[in-house]
A and B are shown apart, each in its own frame.
Chain A
Amino acid sequence: MEKQNKEPIFSTKNIRLLKNPFNKENPITVQVLGICSALAVTAKMQPAFVMAISVTVVVAMSNLICSMLRNTIPPRIRIIVQLVIVSLLVILVDQLLKAFVYEISKQLSVFVSLIVTNCIVMGRIEAFALNNKSFPSFLDGIGNGLGYGMILMVVSFIRELFGSGSLWGYKVIPQWFYEHGYANNSLMIMPPMALIVVGLIVWFHRSRNKDLCE
């Protein structure tokens, strides 16, 4: 059973739950989860941002709900229960996007529904939410969602800048450059380049954190 002594809302332990996914427990660069969507939606910053928010909401809420129900869920059907909760949240997010940010939801297309199969979501429920109290689970979800989102933003920043010459849809590379022979790198907007950019980030990350290398 859990300990009875009360801990402050933002104790060091809880802060660590929020901060670790940004560095040594990053879902993409360290745990290598959620790569598929990270490659697919990062050609432009706007869709990547919406995707990051959507995943954060889904991970945080599914962690919260599963953690609240954790003592009532029969272990034999726990994966099915998790799936029902996760898909419920994903469909809600998908419907909301279709209603309020239609253009972006079209660009994200199937990848919103595919959050259901995003390993980060199930991974965090199984590894954390089922064994921890609701609030730490919620923070763990937020942390992991934002850790995923951070990588998405970095990758999409690089890809949009060099692939389309714009950031957040606004042109940033002046026309003068194009007139003097500069061209957008169209490989940047293709998925393979996302893989290479993620690879470079992993390389950089590990070179700064020797203990991550096997």
Chain B
Amino acid sequence: MFTNKYIFVYSTILVVVAAAILATAAVGLKPYQEANVKIEKMQQLLSCVGITSTPKNAEELYNQYFTEELNIDKTGNVCTINNATKPVYICTKDGKKTYVIPVNGKGLWGAIWGNVALSDDLTTIVGVTFDHKSETPGLGAEITTPSFQKQFDGKTIFEGKNFTSVKVDKRMGKDNPHAVDAISGGTITSKGVSAMLYDCLSFYVPYFNKLKAK
């Protein structure tokens, strides 16, 4: 009743039709999806400097507070965007500048990323946000919780002139200005956050030094 030829033709047509529908949908919906991703990024930058926003007012608030987006090369100069530059977002609130540095690295199962906000002395952290792709809920995924992120407030990434970053380590957080407590059970994610902060922030050290020298 159904010949092999029929089956081949039938499945080919089915798959082609399905592919055409999906391609149309993907192209048609892309602008909306990209807008969402952009707004989410703005919200993360805003929450990093302590401004709560909703998806509706994120763009407005972002334009209000974030006055500059600079691209930095590894010698610390501001230049046009290219493959070797990294961005810094500058927020001006009540006349004070806050520098927001995006960071990214790897956790246990996948990528982790976030933003670090530095006050205008370029040393003291005033806020951080972290997010992750697939860390273990309740263990590594705790890096997204306010209780973990709050620990970073007031920590410093320089000791005098030396870059120290902020370590995530067990039992070190309390009195050390360059460390916060790690997450029990989330050792590898904690180490990932440590390494991410060190690697990403050290790129900006020449830039910070230049700004401080001014």
Contacts and interface: CB of A to CB of B under 8 A. Distances in A.
Interface of A: 72-77, 80-81, 84-85, 88, 91-92, 95-96, 98-100, 102-103
Interface of B: 2, 6-7, 10-11, 14-15, 18, 21-22, 25-26, 29, 32-33, 36-37, 39-40, 55
Contacts of B37: 102
B14 A84 contact: yes
A78 B23 CA distance: 24
A138 B18 CA distance: 20
B29 A84 contact: no
Contacts of A95: 25-26, 29, 33
Contacts of B25: 91-92, 95-96
Contacts of A100: 32
A103 B2 contact: no
A88 B32 contact: no
B2 A75 contact: yes
A81 B11 contact: yes
A96 B15 CA distance: 21
Identify the 6 closest CB pairs spanning chains A and B, nearest first. A99-B32, A102-B36, A74-B2, A99-B29, A88-B18, A74-B7
Nearest to A75: B2
Contacts of B11: 77, 80-81
Nearest to B36: A102
Contacts of B40: 102
A103 B25 CA distance: 20
Contact of A91 (B6, B10, B14, B22): B22
Contact of A72 (B10, B18, B39): B10
Nearest to B34: A99
A175 to B, nearest CB: 19
B36 A99 contact: yes
